[in-house]
């Protein structure tokens, strides 16, 4: 088993999502001795896609410049980590009712037509099939699944668009109102996860 462990919180050691993703990865490794883990901390910076990225990655010039080659290499590295993973454990704290900018940038980097998805006569088809995603949803005041939650539905849809349809959530929400209850719900959800 290959595990891709992704964190995106900006709050460092105080991050609830970071603590919970680490615990999930620990449980997966305990149940699957020999599992490999690739760790990616998106808070260290994920380049946003822009016109230069589009010209380098999407248009794929025959003779790319050194700068274009670097942009392609970065995007390829993110995508390769996902392609190589059997399980993705993604920390997704909610900031301003949605996912972090870093996590959105990462999704933009790996959404590559012809590589991670393609358009067919029947509609779009995700090409990253056969993977499982466990998402830690942490929020101070945004209940998961509520009308103000623009994070969980987007993540489920976007991963499904890329072919990852086995998506489970561990929610530590409403932490500003009752932190202990929110953490207890998250740990109960972790206990229900199949290792």
Detail the residues annotated as belonging to a binding site for FMN: 15-17
**C-alpha span between 127 and 119 (Å, rounded):** 10
Asked if 87 and 2 touch (Cβ cutoff 8 Å), the reply is yes
Q: Encode burial over 26-39: b for 16+ CB neighbours within 10 A, e otherwise.
A: eebbeeeeeeebee
- Spatial contact of 34 and 97, defined as CB atoms under 8 Å apart: no
CA 170 – CA 88 distance, rounded (Å): 13
- Binding-site residues from annotation: 15-17
3-state secondary structure of 147: coil
CA-based R_g, the chain, Å: 17
């Amino acid at each position: 088993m290959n595990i891709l462990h992704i964190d995106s919180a900006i709050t460092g050691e105080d991050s609830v999502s970071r603590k919970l993703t680490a615990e999930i990865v620990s449980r997966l490794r305990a149940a699957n001795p020999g599992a490999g883990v690739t760790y990616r901390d998106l808070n260290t910076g994920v380049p946003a896609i822009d016109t230069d990225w589009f010209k380098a990655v999407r248009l794929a010039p025959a003779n790319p410049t050194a700068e274009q080659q670097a942009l392609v290499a970065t995007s390829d590295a993110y995508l390769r980590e996902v392609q190589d993973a059997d399980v993705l454990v993604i920390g997704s704290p909610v900031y301003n009712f949605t996912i972090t900018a870093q996590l959105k940038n990462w999704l933009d980097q790996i959404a590559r037509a012809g590589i991670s998805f393609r358009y067919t006569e029947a509609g779009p088809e995700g090409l990253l099939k056969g993977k499982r995603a466990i998402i830690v949803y942490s929020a101070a005041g945004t209940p998961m699944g509520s009308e103000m939650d623009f994070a969980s539905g987007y993540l489920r849809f976007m991963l499904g668009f890329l072919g990852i349809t086995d998506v489970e959530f561990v929610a530590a929400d409403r932490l500003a109102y009752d932190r202990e209850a929110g953490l207890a719900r998250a740990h109960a959800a972790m206990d229900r996860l199949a290792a």
